[in-house]
Amino acid sequence: MATEWGTTRLAARMMEQTHDRAGTGASDGPVALAQTATVPPTAGDTGRRRVVAAYVALTKPRIIELLLVTTIPAMFVAARGIPPVWLMIATTLGGAAAAGSANAVNCWVDRDIDALMARTAHRPLVRSEVPPRNALVFGVVLGAVSFAWLALTVNLLAATLAITANLFYVLVYTMGLKRRTAQNIVIGGAAGCVPVLVGWAAVTGTVELPALLLFAIVFAWTPPHFWALALRYRRDYARAGVPMMPVVVGVTETARQILLYTVLLVTLTLMFGALAQLGLLYLISASALGAGYVVSSVRLWREPSAAAAHSSFRYSITYIALLFAAMAVDVTLPPLL
């Protein structure tokens, strides 16, 4: 017994000495844990985060958000209420991937002119944050994944519409029209109208007349929205040799075209209310929002300044978001009349 007790005490004393030399004694446990928890990230972790952020930036998330603003309400109108949650999630993910794919390839094609414009000089390819070949492969793979995802989780029509918009944006707008004609955004903007068709097809499996009118609404909205931005950055586009409307026809004529398209847009939104049999909530919202947009466009036409162009551009974003939100709410709530 004495021998065993002595042996035990000797072993305990040796363990204490070992812990003391290592600096990990029992009393240091909480301190050691706290020190471990506050270890700063390594250079490798920071580098990986930057790479991920660069690839995300290639997809132009803000543009994707704007496209989804029209997709989900279109699904509400097609369903005449709230669509299945899983269907909305699947369509949103697939649509975001499809749009991100087109945007990434757009960055690859336009990397030469992006370097000449202050507005786009921060993009990943201009700053050499992503190798050009990698950006192209990323965009193509993301497009293939989006098609497969939509085909498997939504339906083949939605997948086909999404990939068609992808190809149209890259081949027709980016590679074909953008550097050749002032009507580039009018024709090429059709790619940004397809998400409403994707949303409608996701719910119904078809593309019906109301969906086509939704397409026309976004089609009419795109030129005044983008030309207001182009007015602010016309010197950038001129420097890069891109024939955007303000560069080709001047500020005054561009402002006039914005007003004309705005009037057409408001007319189409009121027609949609009747065709889709929407209620008083949508009618009031479309009328009020449309009146505000016309006032903004008239102000820009009378005084085509950078400030007025910026105001018109910002209002156009608010307009399209609230207009489509009004559609979704209108078909969800009980009719007011």
User: pLDDT tens, 3-41?
Assistant: 433 444 444 444 444 444 444 443 444 334 334 445 555
Report the C-alpha gap between 213 and 150 in whole angstroms: 23
Q: What is the pTM for the complete model shown?
A: 0.84
- CA 83 → CA 64, 87, 88, 213, distances in Å? 21, 7, 7, 20
Measured between alpha carbons, how far apart are the two ends of the chain, in Å? 96
Q: Where are the domains of the chain?
A: 48-207, 209-337
What's the CATH number for 48-207?
A: 1.10.357.140
Give the closest residue to 136 by CA, choosing from 160, 85, 170, 90.
170
**C-beta atoms surrounding 175 within 10 Å:** 15
Residue pair 94/149 in contact (Cβ under 8 Å)? The answer is yes
Instruction: Tell whether the torsion through CA atoms of 43, 44, 47 and 48 is positive or negative.
Output: negative
Tokens 């085509």, located at residue: 304
DSSP secondary structure, 258-280, as one string: HHHHHHHHHHHHHHHHHHTT--H
Q: Which CATH number fits domain 209-337: 1.10.600.10, 3.10.20.90, 1.10.287.4070, 1.20.120.1780?
A: 1.20.120.1780
Give the distance from CA 242 to its chain's centroid: 23
Collect the ranges in the chain with pLDDT lower than 70: 1-45, 335-337
CB neighbour list of residue 52: distance below 8 Å, 6 or more residues apart: none
Angle separating helix axes 156-167 and 132-153, nearest 10 degrees: 160
Report the C-alpha gap between 244 and 226 in whole angstroms: 10
* Confidence at residue 43, expressed as pLDDT on a 0 to 100 scale: 55
The alpha carbons of the chain give a radius of gyration, in whole angstroms, of 28
Give the closest residue to 60 by CA, choosing from 182, 142, 145.
142
What secondary structure letter does DSSP report for 206? S
Instruction: Tell whether the torsion through CA atoms of 295, 300, 305 and 311 is positive or negative.
Output: positive
